[in-house]
Structure 1
Amino acid sequence: MNLLSEQGIETRRPLIAASISDRELGLIDKTVLDSIDLIELRVDHFSKLSSEYISEVINKTKGFDKHLICTIRSTDEGGATHINDSERLRIFKEVAGLVDMIDIEAASEIFIDVLNIAKEKDKILIASIHNFDSTPSYRELEDTVLFNKSRGAHIVKIATMPQRREDIFSMTRLTVTYYRENIVTICMGQMGVITRVFFPFIGSLFTFASVGETKAPGQMDVRRLRELMNLFSGS
């Protein structure tokens, strides 16, 4: 049983996390809900950052009955708005009890602080690594997974930008080799679009898709992604 199964998430189909902002809550209809399994709230895309407002958005989102990921992405790794680390830490502390998972960049100076918050609240911690320029060597990718698991991350998410097909081969090998370690793998950009479809079939815990505005290069609409997954799975 994988980590998400232990959390009561049905894993009979490849899983999709809808990456949304506060302004996209109104776009979540039955067709979206039928397509997704988790919701990632991208707080760095929110129009307001007060404690009351963020809690209000989270509580509204809980009404969709999907497991929630709280992400406050740094601008260094693709965040929409610069939010300093002390502010991000404040938000994580305040909302940790309301969500199921917390995502923090593995390279962040507040990684250990956020890890401790997740432990205190008994939440799943996702250690994220984004490379928007290239794909590291297989050895580097492997070391990244093992190092972050040793630090206490429940899930290691690695998103890279492939420059050649061999980069996709490396990420595919990583996914197949370390699927028991609870990893999320993504190749971004146009070349990597296909990996958003097939990596969840071969070992990535889930993948990300958009509802409205895309949050990362190559991200697909949730309904289109589910349609393709259903096509390949014969559903």
Structure 2
Amino acid sequence: MDKTITVRGITIGEGIPKVCVPIVGSTIEELGSSALSIRQVAPDIVEWRADYFSDIFDEEQMKKALHTLREVLPDTPVLFTFRTRKEGGEREIAMEDYILLNHRAITSGLVDLIDVEIFSGDDVVQKIISKAHTHQIPVIASNHHFHETPDEETILNIFKKMDFLGADILKIAVMPNSRRDVLRLLSATETASHFSEKPIITMSMSGTGLISRLCGEVFGSALTFGAVGKASAPGQINAEDLKTVLNLIHENLPENTQ
């Protein structure tokens, strides 16, 4: 059974977890400069955090921003993400505008994946996923807990909801308040990786949760986030250091050393 998603030659869900680097510029000039810096690191995927962009609601400026990213990173998959305030983003947004922005990204021909917050309302989520799939764009369903780590059953039920609503990749980020919280997330990740027919992404965001950003290949998380310049979430580490550790773990796993 194929549990992978491939975009621009990058296969999510097999081998070394893919490294995604967010771009958080507020202007087109900042986006271009950040993209040039990121290009030197050669991440697998770039996430445009559109909630940081000052003119995101201006359709022409949004298109210019996407063209800028595509010119600097012509072969790198671009993930479009508008992270709402309630899930740790930079601004609040009405759901009709959230749908509109995602539809503009989908129909632009300039993005390869989109992120949809799973608790935006089932109707909102299904509208965006349906539009994305019409244009052959995979969808990452996401959910973020910035104050706690839910119990394992809750985490698994969120994954099931994401799957039910038609997402292609399932992502949960949590905040650890203890080492046991990190273990709970890793346990849920390992369990979900067995029952899910889709790639899973998990992370425990800061402090002791750092280990979760490094050991995805062991527990079943298919992608991790690293920073070049400004981080977009707590606990992100330098992308080059991240790639070094991921490769080291991969090379020393039993199945890769035989």
TM-score, normalised by the number of residues in structure 1? 0.90
Equivalent position amino acid for 1:107 in 2: F
Q: Give the structure 2 partner of residue 18 of structure 1.
A: 21
Aligned CA distance change for structure 1 residues 100 and 122 (closer, same or farther; 3 Å):
same
Equivalent position amino acid for 2:65 in 1: V
Q: CA deviation at 1:31?
A: 7.0
Aligned CA distance change for structure 1 residues 31 and 57 (closer, same or farther; 3 Å):
closer
Deviations for 1:85-125, whole angstroms, at most 9, x for unmatched residues? 22222111111032111111110032222122212222111
5 Å-filtered alignment, 1:141-180, equals 141-179=155-193, 180=197
Larger deviation, residues 199-208 vs 68-77: 199-208
Equivalent position amino acid for 1:26 in 2: S
Q: CA deviation at 1:201?
A: 4.4
Q: Write the distance in 1 (CA, Å) between the matches of 2:200 and 2:247.
A: 22
Equivalent position amino acid for 2:54 in 1: S
Q: Give the structure 1 partner of residue 232 of structure 2.
A: 215
The reply on whether 1:69 has 2:79 as its aligned counterpart is yes
Q: Give the structure 1 partner of residue 133 of structure 2.
A: 119
Q: 2:59 aligns with which of 32, 51, 57?
A: 51
Q: Give the structure 2 partner of residue 40 of structure 1.
A: 47
Deviations for 1:120-166, whole angstroms, at most 9, x for unmatched residues? 22211111110011111111111111121011111110000111222
Larger deviation, residues 158-167 vs 198-207: 198-207
Q: Write the distance in 2 (CA, Å) between the matches of 1:13 and 1:30.
A: 23
Q: Give the structure 1 partner of residue 114 of structure 2.
A: 102
Equivalent position amino acid for 1:137 in 2: D
Aligned CA distance change for structure 1 residues 76 and 155 (closer, same or farther; 3 Å):
same
Aligned CA distance change for structure 1 residues 78 and 30 (closer, same or farther; 3 Å):
closer
Q: Write the distance in 1 (CA, Å) between the matches of 2:218 and 2:23.
A: 23
Contact 1:35 1:222 in 2 (8 A): no
Identical aligned residues as a percent = 27
Q: Write the distance in 2 (CA, Å) between the matches of 1:150 and 1:121.
A: 20
Contact 1:39 1:67 in 2 (8 A): yes
Equivalent position amino acid for 1:2 in 2: K
The reply on whether 1:132 has 2:134 as its aligned counterpart is no
Equivalent position amino acid for 2:23 in 1: I
Larger deviation, residues 17-26 vs 151-160: 17-26
Q: Write the distance in 1 (CA, Å) between the matches of 2:38 and 2:104.
A: 31
Q: Which runs of 5+ in 2 are unaligned?
A: 253-258
Q: When the two structures are aligned, how many residues end up with a matched partner?
A: 235
Q: CA deviation at 1:168?
A: 1.4
Q: Write the distance in 2 (CA, Å) between the matches of 1:36 and 1:202.
A: 22
Q: Give the structure 1 partner of residue 100 of structure 2.
A: 90
Q: CA deviation at 1:9?
A: 1.0
Give the superposed CA RMSD.
2.2
TM-score, normalised by the number of residues in structure 2? 0.83
Q: Write the distance in 1 (CA, Å) between the matches of 2:39 and 2:183.
A: 31
The reply on whether 1:191 has 2:208 as its aligned counterpart is yes
Q: CA deviation at 1:171?
A: 1.4
Equivalent position amino acid for 1:91 in 2: L
Contact 2:118 2:143 in 1 (8 A): yes
Contact 2:115 2:141 in 1 (8 A): yes
Aligned CA distance change for structure 1 residues 31 and 118 (closer, same or farther; 3 Å):
closer
